[in-house]
A and B are shown apart, each in its own frame.
Chain A
Amino acid sequence: MSLTISLTVNGVARDIPLDDPRVTLLDLLRERLDLTGTKKGCDRGQCGACTVLVDGRRINSCLALAVSHDGAHVRTIEGVAQGDVLHPVQAAFIAHDGFQCGFCTPGQIVSAIGLLQEGQAGDDPERVREGMSGNLCRCGAYAGITEAVLDAQKVIAEMDRKHAA
């Protein structure tokens, strides 16, 4: 079997030759596609720093083999803003001090975008905290992160309402 895979990364379709089936999606993004926004924290699925959206769903890219995701659509932190306009979740993280050192932040933001798309948390901060429990923040910015996610949800709902009107 050929180990060339097709991936659409942040809207751009690519054919990617793989010389080794061991390459994780995380290492592919960082080391071969130079998309270093996605962070390698634990590399074992425990910290969430490597969170990306695959076909719209948030997963830990460190526990995904690239070769197994042939044909997938991947969105990383580099692909969430529209040009110079930040994604509402990015803007809300800044407004609510949702980070300190920033290492976990790309994973937090992509995870939060996934959480909001899943539509399970509503405006309940407990459900937001539970839904974000796969993203660790050693600086302890959790209070700001929860506020940012709730606020971004309101902003997105308002944008959707205006768009529909």
Chain B
Amino acid sequence: MKTFDYVRPATIAEAVAAASEPGAAYLAGGTNLLDLMKGRITQPLRLVDVNQLPGLDTIEPLADGGVRIGARVRNADLAHDVAFGRRFPAVAEALLSGASAQLRNAATVGGNLLQRTRCAYFYDVASACNKRQPGTGCEARGGDTRLHAVLGWSENCIATNPSDFCVPLVAFDAVVEIAGKSGRREVSLETFYRLPGDTPERESVLEPGELIVAVRLPAEAAKFSAHARYVKVRERTSYAFAVVSAAAGLRIEGGKIAEARIALGGVALKPWRARAAEAVLVGVRPDAAAFRLAAEAALADATPSGDNGFKIELARRIVTRALSLAAAGTPDRVPALPASPFALVPGALIHA
């Protein structure tokens, strides 16, 4: 690891000023950043430690029925917050399907949003990578693409966003609150991330020095709480990133779907909201045929970025499964194996 200056600001304004310098990075839980620094993938000149900043570590119910989650709230604390889990169960399930208990105890909400892709070529400094070193090429193209994108990718970068947490957040219209030199602003999480295009090194809309201070979920997100799930296919039962994942929420009235929310993980450089698929479901009965039609719509624009065409059909099946599980009803408690694809819907086909 290269050496760096260490500063520990006492206020958000001090933090923003300190992090606006070239080469500065924020340090929160450090679970991704220290790994990147040890591998010399990221080499900040200055770490701005936000762990002592006041006012960023609460889960605050809002008067309008929404919730505001401070950026320093630890993943485990949010996942196990009973009131939060009751209202936003798919978010809790996604959090608990990610990483390990040790990492969830350290990793923060803001850090989860800003974690880097786990593309092996990005992590291997001997490989060409436009994200790590702009203009050098992309060795993932033509390489091992099992964990790579099938939506929204470009010739310059086919990496995926690794977050589980962000998938239901995007499905349920989360908003990111940002502090910067010129004050506060907010953007929807869906528009917070950039697709790779010609600038894969620019991953979000954050400007130098800008700090995530909170994530909000609107009151509408809680209306799906009776039918909200997250499903994640990974290479082993636990403690692995998604090959493909999906969050699904349904609002069912009189036996028909009044409103649906669907987002996918592991398929693009951002958590992928599937609005066309949501529209397919409005006003229809929640059954397997409707879910399959929605899944077709969700992946309509997908194309393989390498030897990963299988992910497109896998993603359709995971969307179908997430919708089927959501329709069956949110369990009272997050299952022992959160988001596991091995948990079957009663009466469903194992391959559906």
Contact = CB atoms under 8 A, between A and B. Distances in A.
A113 B337 CA distance: 20
Given A1-B8, A22-B4, A134 B100 contact: yes
A60 interface: yes
Contacts of A21: 3-6, 47
Given A58-B102, A111-B102, A134-B100, A127 B336 contact: yes
A60 B106 contact: yes
Nearest to A22: B1
A64 B27 CA distance: 10
Interface stretch (A7-15, A97-105, A114-122, A153-161): A114-122
A67 B338 CA distance: 34
Contacts of A130: 238, 336-338
Interface in A118-158: 118, 120, 124, 126-127, 129-135
Interface residues of B, number: 32
A2 to B, nearest CB: 11
B184 interface: no
Interface residues of A, number: 36
Nearest to B4: A21
Given A59-B102, A134-B102, A65 B4 contact: no
Interface stretch (A30-38, A41-49, A74-82, A83-91): A41-49
Interface in B154-191: none
Given A44-B38, A64-B34, 6 more contacts: A3-B6, A59-B106, A63-B35, A126-B336, A134-B100, A134-B103
B80 A120 contact: yes
A134 B8 CA distance: 30
A133 B51 CA distance: 26
A57 B4 CA distance: 28
A48 B3 contact: no
A1 B7 contact: yes
Contact of A65 (B30, B239, B338): B30
Contacts of A132: 101
A129 B8 CA distance: 38
Interface in B1-52: 1, 3-8, 27, 30-31, 34-35, 38-39, 47, 49, 51
Given A1-B6, A44-B38, A68-B49, A63 B31 contact: yes
